[in-house]
Amino acid sequence: MPAFAKALLAVVAAGCLLPAQAAAPKRTKTRPAAHSRTHAKVRLLDINTASATQLARVPGLDKALAAAIIAHRPYLTKEHLVLKHAIPEPVYFAIRDRITCIPPGVRKARAERPTRK
């Protein structure tokens, strides 16, 4: 390979590497924000036993939706909120991380189970 071709190849290769190195972010030692280290536990609200007031406190629900949730009880899973047309699907996706559903039969079985000593 002629010297000119080697020099051209070296310049092209160096040109390809330089922008990537220049664009690479600088690593700095920063501490994460305090709020990212402490995750507040959100208590899940059981849709089969919650009152209208408790349901209305969930962000994304109002009194009318809370009343609709109560009117369509009991639920086997929290997805049944949408399947029974108690709430619209976008509302469900907004609240699904704040609610839970314990079916009535499961709740009764848990209450009757003897406690361990």
Q: What is the pLDDT of residue 42?
A: 72
Whole-number Å distance between alpha carbons of 104 and 87: 20
pLDDT, one tens digit for every residue, the chain (117 residues):
677 667 666 766 666 555 555 555 566 555 555 544 455 677 899 999 999 999 999 999 999 999 999 999 999 999 999 999 999 999 999 999 999 999 988 866 666 777 676
Q: H or E stretch including 100?
A: strand 99-100
pLDDT at 102: 95
With 0-12 CB in 10 A as exposed, 13-18 as middle and 19+ as buried, what is 8?
A: exposed
pLDDT at position 8, please?
Answer: 64
d(CA 36, CA 74): 37
- Structural domains for the chain: 45-112 (1.10.150.320)
Q: Per the omega criterion (within 30 degrees of 0), is the bond before 104 cis?
A: no
Report which residue type is found at 48.
N
3-state secondary structure of 55: helix
